[in-house]
Amino acid sequence: MCAFSSFAQTDSLQLEIQEIENSLKYQYGEISLGDGLAKVTVPKGFKYLDPEQSEYVLTQLWGNPASGTTMGMLVPKDKGVLDDDAWVFDIEFDEIGYVEDKDAEDIDYNELLATMQADMQEANQERVANGYEEIQLVGWASKPYYDADHKILHWAKEAKFGEAETNTLNYNVRILGRKGVLMLNAIANMESLPEVKQSIPVITSSVAFEQGHSYFDFDPDVDEVASWTIGGLVAGKVLTKVGFFALLLKFWKVLAVGAASLGGALWKRLRGKKEEVAVVEDAQEEAVS
């Protein structure tokens, strides 16, 4: 009876996950983003989810706050969004203006990290007061690198949410444009770092601004220069005067769209079922041995 119950739970769980995965309509080829702002040419080994479905994954499946800002996501072709080792690149655009990159070679990223860690500790007081877990910024998972020729910045942070056993990987790619930056954020856990890092060249070459919107199309007579710098993009700070809570939300959202294991009710329910099945199967194995 116990064995039958275990198999029944396993089958039910797999069917539920498969039904969710089958409901998602992935796309391939060249896809326009943001009404002609940019385009993604889905690279080999990946598949694309449109903004509506990506929002569903982020909020309903993974339990993140609704933002409505996603332009879609790139998912490894051999993974589903509810797999234990799921990871994706979420695509967004932040219309902050033209980011000058004059400071790129002068940034001390170790010093910047120390400042970010101190800021996070201070921000945690506000997080806890609002019912959220503390976040510990562990360090660089991949030190910031700026490709001046292609105007692409990428870096990765390792973060620990509360008492979570698995740390969150926050891999960020920023493609600088005429009126803002395309943001490609990897949503993954630390175990996926080798895969994510290996994919960076193909990901950065697959997403680009359309003609008229690129960094090289900047017109100083009509376009606005951003208050951000390269260092500001990495730190997640707005250099203009805004409220502390707004800064906190800006920084926290990028980190909190974290590993699926941190997710919402549905994900916890699915994971809970998996853990129940594992306990039953372990007990059966011990009884047999």
- Please spell the DSSP secondary structure of 42-85, one letter per residue: PPTTEEEE-HHHHHHIIIIIT-PPP------EEEETT--TTSTT
Burial class (CB in 10 A: 0-12, 13-18, 19+), 23: exposed
- Beta-carbon contacts of 218 under 8 Å, excluding residues fewer than 6 positions away, are 98, 178
- Which of 84-93, 98-107, 122-131 shows the lowest mean pLDDT across its residues? 122-131
143 or 284: which carries more pLDDT confidence?
Answer: 143
- pLDDT band per the 50, 70, 90 thresholds, residue 61: confident
pTM (2 decimals)? 0.78
Q: What is the pLDDT of residues 2-19, one digit of tens each?
A: 544 444 555 677 788 888
Q: Which helix (H) or strand (E) holds 159?
A: strand 152-161
Question: Exposure string (b/e) for 213-243, b if CB count within 10 Å is 16 or more?
Answer: bbbeebeeeeeeebebbbbbbbbbbbeeeee
pLDDT at position 258, please? 34
Closest CA to 180 of 37, 35, 33: 37
Enumerate the H helices of 130-264 as residue ranges.
193-204, 230-235, 244-256
The domains found in the chain, sorted by start residue, are: 2-288 (3.40.1000.10)
Query: Phi first, then psi: what are they for 225, rounded to 5°?
Result: -90, 135
Q: What is the pLDDT of residues 195-242, one digit of tens each?
A: 999 999 999 999 999 999 999 999 999 999 998 889 888 887 433 322
pLDDT at position 11, please? 65
Calculate the alpha carbon distances from 69 to 19, 91, 190, 279, 281 in Å: 26, 9, 25, 40, 42
